[in-house]
Amino acid sequence: MKLPGVREFSWREVATEARLLLIGIPVFLWTMIPIYHMFLFAISPKEDAFSGKLWPDHPTLHNFEIVFKQQHYFLRDFYVQFWNSTLIAASVGMLTLFIATAAAFSISRLKVPGGRMVLNLALFTYFIPAAFLAVPMYRTMGNYGLLNNHWALILAMVTIASPYAIWVLKQASDKLPVELDEAAVMDGATTLQIFRLVYLPLMMPSLVAIGTYAVLLAWNEYLYAFLLLSNDREITLPVALGNFLAADDSPWELLMTTGFIYALPPAAVYYAFRRYMVGGLTAGAGKS
């Protein structure tokens, strides 16, 4: 690559690089500042956090110790709430996968009568803003006697996650060749065997993407969680974080520490499954 006249060439390179950096550095700062600020609070004693320092004089893990030992009024049910979040996210992930895979198989492979209409209804639900559905959903859960019960949040989140899940899975299964099913039928496979032995293995990448999507959606949900659950031992972590604000002199350093701990699992899950997520999800949302 070393050619004569390399100096002139590299000056142009430097100018291009500088212009890219001129965008890159603000993008980096913009992205990181709120997250760094949260991290800063988590490792700062209260005095340092409240004095606007960009790095604490005495960085400490004391805040984490308080959270993990539940040594504060707002944190007395930390482990129960963490467990609630985990359980609800896992249940939503599994139920959504079950319901959506069955529906997508039925619509796309079995060509069930009316399948197209169900798909359109699901798509319609997908476009209704979730905060609008929250109001009647709250009252409905009351009518069903499910308020303050984990099932209320699980079912609500499954309702919200399924339409998109069905749609993405349907798109993915349309791409599987029809001949596969036909060959399996020739070999005398029953519908359920096709589902289990042919369909599920081939759909694995999309299933991973959708499972991750549903789990993250449920773990991150705040509005539905605080409407449907209120008892301190039933609520999920985000609701507990919101409750910190009830006091005038909220322990913000503990709030940020708990928030940091709460934000770690979804970030880890996202990066672990990024490969699947980017392919599976943008294929759906970005279809033009």
Looking at residues 107 to 126 of the shown chain, list those that interact with another protein (rule: CB under 8 A). 107, 110-125
Binding residue for another protein, selected from 103, 209, 210, 228, defined by CB under 8 A: 103
Interface with another protein, residue 278, by CB under 8 A: yes
Binding residue for another protein, selected from 6, 20, 200, 204, defined by CB under 8 A: 20
In the bound state with another protein, the residue whose beta carbon lies nearer, of 234 and 237, is 237
Phi-psi region of 70 (alpha: psi -120 to 50; beta: other; left: phi over 0): left
Taking CB under 8 A as the criterion, which residues in 25-54 touch another protein? 27-28, 30-35, 37-38, 41, 50-52, 54
In the bound state with another protein, the residue whose beta carbon lies nearer, of 6 and 117, is 117
Measured CA to CA in angstroms, residue 220 lies from 89, 181, 189, 241, 243 at distances of: 9, 38, 41, 12, 16
Interface with another protein, residue 192, by CB under 8 A: yes
Interface with another protein, residue 18, by CB under 8 A: no
Query: For residue 219, which of 204, 242, 239, 245 has the smallest C-alpha distance?
Result: 239
CB of residue 120 to another protein, shortest distance in Å: 6
State the number of CA atoms in the 13 A half-sphere of 257 facing the CB: 26
Rounded Cα–Cα distance for residues 231 and 240 (Å): 10
DSSP 8-state secondary structure symbol assigned to residue 1: -
Rounded Cα–Cα distance for residues 7 and 17 (Å): 15
- Per CB under 8 A, the segment of 7-15, 56-64, 93-101, 172-180 that binds another protein is 93-101
Q: Is the dihedral of CA 31, 34, 37, 38 positive or negative?
A: negative
Tell me if 254 sits within 8 A of 63, measured CB to CB: yes
Rounded Cα–Cα distance for residues 199 and 103 (Å): 13
Rounded Cα–Cα distance for residues 263 and 220 (Å): 9
Tell me if 213 sits within 8 A of 164, measured CB to CB: yes
Interface with another protein, residue 68, by CB under 8 A: no
- Per CB under 8 A, the segment of 22-30, 71-79, 172-180, 201-209 that binds another protein is 22-30
Interface with another protein, residue 233, by CB under 8 A: no
Taking CB under 8 A as the criterion, which residues in 209-228 touch another protein? 219-220, 222-223, 227
Rounded Cα–Cα distance for residues 158 and 97 (Å): 9
> In the stretch 122-161, what mask flags binding to another protein with x, by CB under 8 A?
xxxx-xxxxxxxxxxxxxx--xx----------xx-xx--
Interface with another protein, residue 247, by CB under 8 A: no
Query: For residue 101, which of 184, 155, 179, 161 has the smallest C-alpha distance?
Result: 161
Interface with another protein, residue 246, by CB under 8 A: no
- Per CB under 8 A, the segment of 61-69, 70-78, 200-208, 258-266 that binds another protein is 258-266
Taking CB under 8 A as the criterion, which residues in 161-190 touch another protein? 162, 166-167
CB of residue 71 to another protein, shortest distance in Å: 20
Binding residue for another protein, selected from 68, 86, 232, 252, defined by CB under 8 A: 252
